[in-house]
Each structure stands twice: as C-alpha cells, then as structure tokens.
Amino acid sequence: MAKTLEERGYPIIDVHGHQGNLKRLSDGSPGMLPPVTKQQIALEKYFRHHELTTEQLLETLPTEEEMRETFRKYGVYFCPAAWTAPTGQGEIGQTNDYIYNLWQRHRGICLGFWGCVDPWMGEEALSEAERCLRDLKALGIKFQQASQKFHLSDHRFYPLWDLIASYNGFVQWHGGYTGVGTGMPGGGGIKILEYTNPIDVDNVAADFPKLRIILMHTCDPFTEAAELVCMHKGNVYRETSGALPRYIPERMIHDINTRLRTKFMFGSEYPYFRLVDNILDGWEKDVTFRPGIEELFFYKNALNILGDRFENAGADLSPWKGLI
Ligand SMILES: [Zn+2]
C-alpha cells in the first residue's frame, strides 16, 4: 500500500492530471467529459482491463470531497488540465473556466491549472490562450495532438507558440501512444503515430527557444527520440503521466535516474489512473530510484522548472519550505 504523506516525509507535486468527471459538480458548470462516451468506456477497459457500463463507470468516479481527502492524506498537490477538441473529435470537454474554478475551490491541493485550446480555432484559440495565461494565471496550455489532429510543427500554429512564449507560459504536448480509442474499430478514428512523434517537438523547440515545453508520457514507441530531444533542447522537459509504472520503458527509468535526472517530473493522469492503487503504489513497487533521485523526481524538479509559474499563480509553496 502506498505511503501516506506522514510515512513518506515529503509532499509530491503532480504536474498533470484531469478532473471534470466527478460525480457531482458543485459549480453547476458543464464540466463533464462528454457524456461518458464509448471512447471513455474503451479507455477504462484499456486502463483497468474490465468493461463497465456507463452507470458502473460513474459509480467509480470520486466526489470532490473524496478527491480532496485522498490528495491530502497522500500529500499530493496536483495541476489539473482542461480539455477541448471540437474540430478533431467534436468534443468540448472540460472548459478552461471549469478547471480554473476547480483549482480555486481546491487551492489547498492544487498548485495551478493547465488551459486547453483547439489549435484549429485560429483567432479564437489565440485569444482564449491569452485569456488563460493573462487573466486566469494558467501555468500554460495543454495540447493533445492525436485527438486534436494537428502537427505541432505546422507553421499555421506558430502564432500560438509565439503567444504562449510571450507570456512565459509552458506548453504540455502529448508524446507517442494514446489510450484514447484503444480497442475500438479504427481506434475511434484516432491516429496514434501520425501527430505524436517527438520530431515535431524538436523542430518547434529549435524555432522557439523561449517556449518552455513539457513533452508528456512515455512517448512509446518514440521513447528514445523523446529523451534525446529533451537532452538536446534546454527548453524541453519530461513528465511521466499516462502509463502504469510497470509499463514505463526501461530506457525512461534509466534516464530518470541518470542524465535526465533534473528534467523529469512526476505526473499522474488522475483520475483516469487511480492515484493510490495505480500510481503511487506502482512507483513504490515497480521502480527503483538511485539515491537522491526520488526527491528530484517527485518535487524538486517541478519546483525548479515550474516555480515561477506556481508563483505567478499565487500557489502556496510552504509545504516544501525547508526541503530544498
Ligand atoms: Zn492527460
């Protein structure tokens, strides 16, 4: 069983999760992921190897109070991301305002939030990204290229990277395999390799040295390329959400322990992965850290890399006082 905050002795920073499919939405906003879709049920089957009905799936989701208690008990501070892909998938998902308000309601366990815009929305995407960064104090903007169906290195989207860099924001970019659509005919229309190759990240990172990029997930089957892009580009960082720890490639664990030890951050993909049973437990059971690495990975790197954004968001960083 995963260690509680007391047993572990230090609080964890989780740089990527979600919310919005809580059983009850206290602010009444349209924060539900669209309707518990077939895709979400397929995702559940992929994550946990069992098929649920819509009702059963809803039953497994936590309430906001349960969420808060779990994060408190285990000493995890998270950064939820909004979600939108109307052009690619016809989904509005979790709006920026919904996730912003969730953060505001739970500042005791949330350090900030990630906005999300549909890059195909042109001017609208630019002004929404600007609103997130300027008015809502987002840490940055998250994109999921497979669902949003676009190439990061397509010059039509360069104004977005320019804008985000001008606000000193981060981007969270998807890398490699996505569970979305797994097992469905045609993978639910999702192309898992076309838009998710870190070669696009390398190209944009070179063109926008001031844009700070978090290349997400295991990047399977491009793990090696992802680690090399991260090593080569000072403005590219990595995080680990989106896979059970036992499925994280050896190469990635090795790099977390060695040459990328100051660049990797912990991410959970909560609540798609259960925080305690799937993630914290898995990192304790299935991964071996070299001395001193665990603390870098679970909070020090996040404070060093995202520290100015946490401050910009007015996050309370006192839980780490005296720890770095
Ligand atoms: Zn995610």
Please state the three-class secondary structure of the chain as a single string.
CCCCHHHHCCCEEEEEECCCCCCCCCCCCCCCCHHHCHHHHHHHHHHHCCCCCHHHHHHHCCCHHHHHHHHHHHCEEEEEECEEEHHHHCEEEECHHHHHHHHHHCCCCECCCEEECCHHHCHHHHHHHHHHHHCCCCCEEEECHHHHCCCCCCHHHHHHHHHHHHCCCEEEECCCCCCCCCCCHHHHHCCCCCCCCHHHHHHHHHHCCCCEEEECCCCCCCHHHHHHHHHHCCCEEEECCCCCHHHCCHHHHHHHHCCCCCCEECCCCCCCCCHHHHHHHHHHHHCCCCCCHHHHHHHHHHHHHHHHHHHHCCCCCHHHCCCC
Find, among 76, 84, 152, 92, the residue nearest to 114 by Cα: 84
CA of 16 to the centre of ligand 1 (A): 6
Give the Å distance between the CA of 158 and the centre of ligand 1: 23
Q: For residue 269, report the distance from its CA to the centre of ligand 1, in Å.
A: 5
- Separation CA 21–CA 271 (nearest Å): 9
pLDDT for position 34? 38
pLDDT tens-digit profile of 178-216?
988 888 889 888 999 999 999 999 999 999 999 999 999
Cβ(112)–Cβ(137) below 8 Å: yes
CA 172 to centroid of ligand 1, rounded, Å? 9
Cα angle at 58 between 57 and 64, to 5 degrees?
Answer: 130
User: In terms of Cα–Cα distance, which of 71, 122, 63, 130 is closest to 96?
Assistant: 130
CA of 34 relative to ligand 1 center, distance in Å: 15
Burial class (CB in 10 A: 0-12, 13-18, 19+), 72: middle
Phi and psi of 167, rounded to 5°?
A: -95, 5
Distance from the alpha carbon of residue 119 to the mean position of ligand 1, in angstroms: 17
In the reported structure, the alpha carbon of residue 17 is separated from the centroid of ligand 1 by a whole-number distance in angstroms of 6
d(CA 160, ligand 1 centre) in Å? 20
Task: Compute the distance from residue 276 Cα to the ligand 1 centre, in Å.
Answer: 17
Q: Please count the residues of the chain.
A: 324
Residue 232 Cα, ligand 1 centroid: separation in angstroms?
A: 25
Structure tokens at 138: 């987002």
pLDDT for res 66? 87
pLDDT of residue 20: 59
* Ligand 1 center to 18 CA (angstroms): 6
Ligand 1 center from residue 279 Cα (angstroms): 14
Domains of the chain: 13-313 (3.20.20.140)
Instruction: Supply the pLDDT for residue 127.
Output: 98
List of residues 6+ apart from 61 with CB closer than 8 A: 21, 22, 23, 271
Short-list 15, 10, 2, CA closest to 302: 15
Cα 147 to ligand 1 centroid, rounded to whole Å: 11
* Average pLDDT, consecutive stretches of 10 residues, N- to C-terminus, the chain (324 residues): 94 91 48 53 75 73 86 97 84 83 94 97 97 98 96 98 98 94 87 97 98 97 98 98 94 98 96 90 97 98 98 97 86
Give the model's pLDDT for residue 112: 98
